[in-house]
Amino acid sequence: MTPDFDKRIIAPGGTIGIMGNGQLGRMAALSAAELGYRVHVFGPGADSPTEQVCHKATVADYTDFAALKEFGASVDVVTFEFENVPYDAVKLLSGMVPVRPGWQCLHISQNRLREKTFCNEHGIGTAPFAAVRSLADLEASVEKLGRPAVLKTTEMGYDGKGQVKITEDTNLASAWVDMGGNEAILEGFVDFERELSVIVARGIDGKMACFCPVENRHANHILDVTIAPAQIRQTLRTEAEKIAKTLAEKMEFIGLLAVELFVTRDGKLLVNEVAPRPHNSGHWTIDACVTSQFEQFIRAVCGLPLGDPANHSDAEMKNLLGDDIDAWQAILSDPDAKLHLYGKAEAKEGRKMGHVTWLRPTKTKR
């Protein structure tokens, strides 16, 4: 691929291909339309949240190479709202159109072992960890890292799925069977004071812009509430943004990178996970920032100048999971609430159906 191909600017009027068709793609497509772009979405499942609001949808599996070729021929650039796309599909598309972020970024972020190793190689701390490929590995790793610990799949897990907590009472053989006996990662216990995330955009010219770090509070392993900005000291905020920018630069990233962090009891920052796409903890930016994460995402992948990520308001964002959506009338009766629904037909337990954001006068200097 030539440098000119990598640096191509996609002007308004072009077509953006989005891999994945969930709510992140939906909100990205809405922002793309405001900037004059068309969106062609690719993913399994008809009547998806993104399909409802975009120009064109291809409903197909990520391994359908014939459909992928037609998709690639119809768009000017490809990006992702869902990163767990098979490498072969990304490789095929990258030979046809600019793919942002590139496959190398996806390769790192798709696998927890590669992700944590990459962080450590660039001087960024994580929880202690070990690769686990057998019961013997698990027993040796638990002996080394101690209990409690968390055994996770290296790929595909999210919102608490694909993981088993290892406590003093856990039978390791049973835990290994529960994980399916595949490659896993054991992460040592982190005594954290709170969880943060920071989202950085990086353009084709290498320029970067960070949204302010936010505090995330979880319930049953799923993000419940995001508080923006996080009420942390300035030195910690600066360090969090530096970590995000370092990762984006070292990955030669083009697009939007979200970095989840632990703040330990002694005030250190450790990377938990990274996501090479818009992030649930950035939804508040739609209503509270000069440029939302979704507009910034579109700007970055199309090669446009980045917008101002400053927040004009402080905010609190709450996910609406499952039957929470039934409160839509009560939420709309609150004049301070900004309701966003994702168009999903069925409310299942733990399923993200929408979110609501409340704005507050900003207390943070910009």
Q: The dihedral of CA 227, 233, 236, 240: what is its sign?
A: positive
Residue 49's CATH number = 3.40.50.20
CB within 8 Å of 57: residues ≥ 6 apart: 21, 40, 41, 42, 48, 50, 51
Residue 252 is assigned to a ligand binding site: no
Residues 43 and 87 in one domain: yes
The closest alpha carbon to 18, from 6, 9, 27, belongs to 27
Residue 139 is assigned to a ligand binding site: no
pLDDT of 1 higher than 50:
no
Residues 215 and 330 in one domain: yes
Residue 188 is assigned to a ligand binding site: yes
Give how far the C-alpha of residue 158 lies from the chain's centroid of Cα atoms, to the nearest Å: 10
Mean pLDDT of 149-170: 82
Residue 241 is assigned to a ligand binding site: no
d(CA 61, CA 46): 11
Per-residue pLDDT reduced to its tens digit, 341-352: 999 999 999 999
Residues 228 and 311 in one domain: yes
Per-residue pLDDT reduced to its tens digit, 284-297: 999 999 999 999 99
Range of the domain at 133: 128-188
pLDDT for res 161: 64
Residues 177 and 197 in one domain: no
Residue 326's CATH number = 3.30.470.20
Residues 66 and 145 in one domain: no
Residue 40 is assigned to a ligand binding site: no
Identify the band that residue 157 occupies on the pLDDT scale cut at 50, 70 and 90. low
d(CA 295, CA 287): 12
Residue 137 is assigned to a ligand binding site: no
Residue 34 is assigned to a ligand binding site: no
